[in-house]
Structure 1
């Protein structure tokens, strides 16, 4: 962890040293950031955006037929990226001052990206540091200011680890007739981002393979949702991903030390977590469709006999339905099950986009996905409308309405049972540099 602290500080110094030199503005495009250069070949790009956000949650039945309103700054992000005099060396440093995590929860972790990369060849790149991982669903490849709808799908909040610290390898190879193959490899600590304390468990290893049969997307369109550039020919990417976390101390690999189990020798004994999925994205002439499927499972060690409570005390109670059941108790605190998300939309030439999404979560019998306060909602139906105020992602306003299926039994935010369903109305404004 000391090495990680030194490394993250080094990336910051690297970006700061670039700023300290004599630089000049090279290019600027609204929504795409400021590009600077100097005479020695250094390049630096500044990007950023803010997103004021309004959400109204309404319970169709229940106590007082109540609604819950929330207004906040959803994101306030700033990023510095560039390359050194040797253009094979690149860096990125990014942070968010909104105090909100990617899945919408409150967080004090402002650091997002801090990494350096090296182009081993023109087609192979190695990256070391903290960044978004390649083993999440495809939606996590896409920047938050380019989302097709107001928020990411529930698949992302349920299963994604979002950011991790470690080694990331990526490739980009032509595979005949204009097609491309893009393989990725990941080796990380498996504890999510901003983990500066003790490392629990082992490493996480995983990878992804993407295939683009019709060539590359225009203007990084593979990493942006709506087709505002209106692809002149069909563009498709299909991918599969896999990861195995050897000893995980959180629900999905997004934290470290959140859930700790011990054996009789008071040594940590943690469950393994495996995730795999398949996804695709198609774009053509303003139309886009994104599909994702994710499946997770866990392996629980047979020597677990104790667990550490939030208070720091130790308990030997692993009761499930009145029976001592270590394996299913452990699984009941993890995000286990499978899910799929399908969404599509069309951007008209006047910058108005009409979009829709269906998300389905299927929890295992023993899984935190059955928690009635936060999950236990199998179906989400969303419609949205957006207005892009420029020919880029510089400014847009988006609204959406989501119907949430609560038929399995749900609670409100305070844990009170609700007999009906939920609806979510959302509004967000994006202003980018």
Structure 2
């Protein structure tokens, strides 16, 4: 806790010092505080946000609505974030530093893997547009994975991301990525990304126990770019006046993965003979005049399609968490900035079982966007159909504020 307070105090003092040497640009609620050095060699945007969440859960015994019980609930600060981004020396050299301050952000797997420090840093990278449509990024950042994960948690259409994301996302890692972003013809957008990262996840200090992680992504926008990067913003906040579509394909190889979900999940036994873990995604985003729809498919496998891990003597010492999932969601934003949305998520996380999937989520949501995603209140209700244990009912209410 002392280290976190020290970081925040240093950030505050640095901001005050920088303020006296810069020009302050006009501020609009939700856009962050913007500063530019008097010689225009440095630009900084400072922003912060938090989410206050109420969560209630009920179990439904034997799938019978007349036998609902075991209610539990809690309030929590779901997320609290502090972000700095901008450019240095040239607008072609940009940076981002984002810190996670809530307990949910700071939890980690212990000092054995993360050292004595906390799990404070979310993003810390430089990105250089070194030649025409080519850019390179280095540091800790979100990998080019599923769309739902790349959408900031500040810009979600529902209270939180789906079960597909929680089980299959590539999340963040430390490494480098190469980007190619080009408009072909009058409007056809082509975006290619290739990343090489350590493969153990964010803030890990133990070194590389397994192999490296290679991630590849192809995305097209045949009808042109979305308004204000809306391909990665939940809901049609900016009301596209023409149909807009983004379609993406991703493939990831986590060489000799040491965690149950590649660069996420529990750390596996060091006695295990690790395997390469393969993850694939297909997703889309569509928006038009207040209507939005998003879909994702995810799959994770090993080459031998066997999740079990053994040691040199053939003893079972762990297993990978993989399978497949699909997520479909759609919503309509009224001119009053109220939105209704629905989501269907199906997860089959254990291979080798036939028939119905492990879990199916049916979710209905309502949102009021007071100032776009910077000030909003959202609620959703989910019925969770579980194959191996009792079904569940979940209700969430969340308020988000950011500047």
TM-score after normalising by structure 2: 0.87
Match of 2:369 among 383, 388, 399: 388
Correspondence for 2:402: 432
- The offset of 1:31, in angstroms, is 1.3
Query: Are 1:54 and 1:426, in contact at CA under 8 Å, matched by a contact in 2?
Result: yes
SS in structure 1 at match of 2:241: coil
- Any stretches of 5+ residues in structure 1 without a counterpart? 1-8, 263-267, 308-314, 319-328, 368-375, 411-419
1:349 aligns with 2:329: no
Q: Tell me the matched-pair count.
A: 378
Query: Are 1:261 and 1:305, in contact at CA under 8 Å, matched by a contact in 2?
Result: no
Query: CA RMSD for the aligned pairs?
Result: 3.0
Correspondence for 1:114: 124
CA separation of 1:33 and 1:260: change in aligned 2, threshold 3 A: same
Query: Are 2:60 and 2:68, in contact at CA under 8 Å, matched by a contact in 1?
Result: no
Q: Whole-Å Cα distance in 2 between the matches of residues 25 and 236 of structure 1?
A: 36
SS in structure 1 at match of 2:27: strand
Which structure's residues are more often strand, by fraction? 2
Correspondence for 2:113: none
Correspondence for 1:371: none
SS in structure 1 at match of 2:103: coil
- The offset of 1:19, in angstroms, is 5.9
1:184 aligns with 2:164: no
1:358 aligns with 2:344: yes
Correspondence for 2:135: 125
Correspondence for 2:26: 27
Q: Whole-Å Cα distance in 2 between the matches of residues 147 and 184 of structure 1?
A: 23
Query: Are 1:200 and 1:256, in contact at CA under 8 Å, matched by a contact in 2?
Result: no
SS in structure 1 at match of 2:166: helix
Query: Are 1:32 and 1:393, in contact at CA under 8 Å, matched by a contact in 2?
Result: no
Q: Whole-Å Cα distance in 1 between the matches of residues 14 and 50 of structure 2?
A: 23
Match of 2:161 among 152, 157, 171: 152
Query: Are 1:306 and 1:316, in contact at CA under 8 Å, matched by a contact in 2?
Result: yes
Q: Whole-Å Cα distance in 1 between the matches of residues 302 and 328 of structure 2?
A: 26
Q: Deviations over 1:30-85 (max 9, x none)?
A: 11211111222111111211100011010012798211112100011010011112
Q: Deviations over 1:215-267 (max 9, x none)?
A: 011012112111111111111100100010111111112349810243xxxxx
Q: Deviations over 1:180-199 (max 9, x none)?
A: 10011110011111111232
Correspondence for 1:280: 284
CA separation of 1:56 and 1:220: change in aligned 2, threshold 3 A: same
Query: Are 2:219 and 2:249, in contact at CA under 8 Å, matched by a contact in 1?
Result: yes
- The offset of 1:178, in angstroms, is 1.2
Query: Are 1:127 and 1:169, in contact at CA under 8 Å, matched by a contact in 2?
Result: yes
1:340 aligns with 2:326: yes
- The offset of 1:121, in angstroms, is 2.1
CA separation of 1:385 and 1:100: change in aligned 2, threshold 3 A: same
- Any stretches of 5+ residues in structure 2 without a counterpart? 1-6, 111-117
Query: Are 2:23 and 2:38, in contact at CA under 8 Å, matched by a contact in 1?
Result: no
CA separation of 1:76 and 1:363: change in aligned 2, threshold 3 A: closer
Query: Are 1:218 and 1:231, in contact at CA under 8 Å, matched by a contact in 2?
Result: yes
SS in structure 1 at match of 2:258: coil
Correspondence for 1:233: 242
Q: Whole-Å Cα distance in 1 between the matches of residues 71 and 124 of structure 2?
A: 39
* Divergent runs of 4+, >6 A: 104-107
CA separation of 1:29 and 1:17: change in aligned 2, threshold 3 A: closer
1:397 aligns with 2:367: no
SS in structure 2 at match of 1:228: coil
Correspondence for 2:147: 138
